A and B are shown apart, each in its own frame.
Chain A
Amino acid sequence: MSRNLHLSDLNPTLDRRSFLKACTMAAAALGLSSEMVPQIVEAAASPQRPPVVWLHFQECTGCTEALLRASHPDIGRLILDIISLDYHETVMAAAGRQAETCLHDTITKYDGKFVCVVEGAIPTKDGGIYCKIGGRTALSILKEVAPKAAAIIAIGTCATYGGIQAAAPNPTGAVGVNSIIHDKPIVNISGCPPNPINFLGTVLHFLTFKRLPETDSLGRPLFAYGRKIHDHCERRAHFDEGRFVEKFGDEGHKKGYCLYKVGCKGPETYANCPAVRFNDVGVWPVSVGHGCVGCTEPNFWDTMTPFYERLPSVAIPGDRGVVSSAESAGKTILGVAAAAIGVHAAVGIGRRLGKGSSCCAKPAASTQASDDKSKE
């Protein structure tokens, strides 16, 4: 497998090794055992590729970018090889009337069999006039396509929960797919952008088991959104110990300490970023020194901002982290001991001065002993 983008661009074929690797990666992301890999391979290699209609509404195409520009080139290619992408405004060759025909033909021919992927929010205010494609509103396109789909995959925070369009005051009345379509199985692959591996995993799950993966109550697949960023974060030990970045660029930042105090939303965000990393280059925001902004959570533009301020009421063990708290308490404890020694020494010296004794060592000791006795 080559990570060299130029070379792989010249070679459009997908070799067997890369194909198996991608299937294995997807199986791992889904939390399946290695015994399931052959089944996934079989499903993915099937000549009957499921037709996919990819709808773009209010969005920035970042989700498609993330998917297609994954630096691990095989995944992008696998997506295009294992599914039959019949309609995708960004990547298809057709345009205009030809493209609209393509959409119409697909949903008619594969009625009840195709997978509908939605990218972008749907504006509902004023009859949905704020997003139109080919003279039709996003709302009416979705209402035409969705009922004929076998399943819907909402990709990105816009399609799942409205995203930035739905941020207060939400001028266009933007909503996610599941606010409009209620009678179809919908999986939410949230994130801004979502990790391509989570989309791939969902598709392969659908191909292998003929049903969508199990989801949480926000419709996100549990295999990818089942645990919080905080729980698997590589900087978690620093959180528990109380070693925090106080300011971007400070000493703690250079040392890779916890980003919680500079606004990391990891403790309240469900996603698998720390485990699968991003875009297949082995990094993700926290690993390169930027806190999580909570992009997989509904309304994160409203609830997770300001992005650079700490989340309120997250329990830090020992209030400031165990080492930091123990250290400051320890300083007090050592200080009290030093003070006790000081008082003891001062009393001893004071008494000796008071007695005006100028004797040699031995009687002085006995004086002190009897002094101590009389003290009680």
Chain B
Amino acid sequence: MLYEKKEAWSVLLRLYHWAFALSIVCLVVTGLYVHEPWTSTQLEAVRTFPMAYMRYLHFLAGFVFTAALMVRLYLLIFGNRQEKFWNAAPITPSNIVNFFKTILFYLYIGKKDHRLGHNALAFTIYVVVFLLAVCQIITGFYLLYPESVFWQGWGLKLFGTQQQARFLHHIFMWCFMLFAMIHVYLVVWNENVAPEGMISSIFSGDKFVEKS
């Protein structure tokens, strides 16, 4: 079988992906520590600030996360064909068909409906994750700047008091962990059942498509 190399992801999208992924890992690790500062009784002493440094890393990663999301938002509108919103959102007839075909494919029933970019099912989940990320950013900045009129305004309107926002911020984190688990599993699964270089594409930008 002959394959053809085609560029799927621009440099900017790949940078976005890794900034987003690594910031999430950092946010989860430091966030769980802030939630449950388990070392504080062992390490707390003069001139050591385990909690302060965990929070510091959390805030830094939060800014990286925000910056990454900004880039993705830009690419949804101005990116290459695969990165654009209309390319894979299940709102056009062919994308709706792809959405259901992908479900069947994942259930080992149908055949893969090949796409150079995202399949419609994955993209739908990405949109949900995108919206969750927006929620994390708003709750996060609301918690970081409790005195800021701007963040307090949005935070109160959308998520309630500091404590409610903190609770939701924590719950949303579990959604990200769940997403990361499924995401990695499906990428590896795809790599096995439909060889197109999906994993390497997020490093190199290129996928391999069957020559017709």
Contacts and interface: CB of A to CB of B under 8 A. Distances in A.
Interface in A321-376: 322-323, 325-327, 329-330, 333-334, 336-338, 340-341, 344-345, 348, 365-366, 368-369, 372-373, 375-376
Interface in B46-80: 47, 49, 52-53, 55-56, 59-60, 62-64, 66-68, 70-71, 74, 78, 80
Instruction: Classify chain B's interface size.
Output: 20 to 34
B70 A334 contact: yes
B80 A341 contact: no
A63 B64 CA distance: 56
Contacts of A338: 70
Contact of A330 (B52, B59, B84): B59
Given A318-B52, A323-B144, A338-B70, A369 B60 contact: no
Q: Is the interface of B mostly helix, strand, loop or mixed?
A: helix
A119 interface: no
Interface stretch (B4-12, B127-135, B175-183, B187-195): B4-12
A333 B55 contact: no
Contacts of B11: 375
B17 interface: no
Interface in B80-121: 80-82, 84
B205 interface: yes
Contacts of A369: 80-82
Interface in A295-325: 315, 317-318, 322-323, 325
B26 interface: no
B78 A330 contact: no
Given A333-B63, A333-B67, A348 B78 contact: yes
B28 interface: no
B122 interface: no
B206 interface: yes
B199 interface: no
A181 to B, nearest CB: 32
Contacts of A368: 80-81
Interface string B132-176: 000000000000100000000000000000000000000000000
Contacts of A333: 60, 63-64, 66-67
A330 B70 contact: no
B134 to A, nearest CB: 15
A325 B144 CA distance: 13
A240 interface: yes
Contact of B56 (A322, A366, A372, A376): A322
A78 B108 CA distance: 87
A270 to B, nearest CB: 12
A341 B83 CA distance: 14
B80 A372 contact: yes
A340 B80 contact: no
Contacts of A334: 63, 66-67, 70
A337 B59 contact: no
A323 B71 CA distance: 24
Q: Is the interface of A mostly helix, strand, loop or mixed?
A: helix
Nearest to B71: A337
Given A344-B12, A348-B78, A372-B80, A318 B53 contact: yes
Contacts of A337: 67-68, 70-71
A333 B11 CA distance: 18
A334 B82 CA distance: 25
Contacts of A344: 10, 12, 74, 78
B15 interface: yes
A229 to B, nearest CB: 13
A240 B44 CA distance: 14
A373 B59 contact: no
Contact of A322 (B53, B63, B70, B205): B53
Interface in B198-212: 205-206
A317 B49 contact: yes
Contact of A326 (B63, B74, B205): B63
Contacts of B66: 330, 333-334
26 contacts: A315-B47, A317-B49, A318-B56, A322-B55, A322-B56, A323-B59, A323-B144, A325-B56, A326-B60, A329-B63, A330-B59, A330-B60, A330-B63, A330-B66, A333-B60, A334-B63, A334-B66, A337-B67, A337-B71, A344-B10, A344-B74, A345-B78, A365-B81, A365-B84, A372-B80, A376-B7
4 nearest A-B pairs in the assembled complex, by CB-CB distance: A330-B63, A326-B59, A337-B67, A317-B52
Interface of A: 240, 315, 317-318, 322-323, 325-327, 329-330, 333-334, 336-338, 340-341, 344-345, 348, 365-366, 368-369, 372-373, 375-376
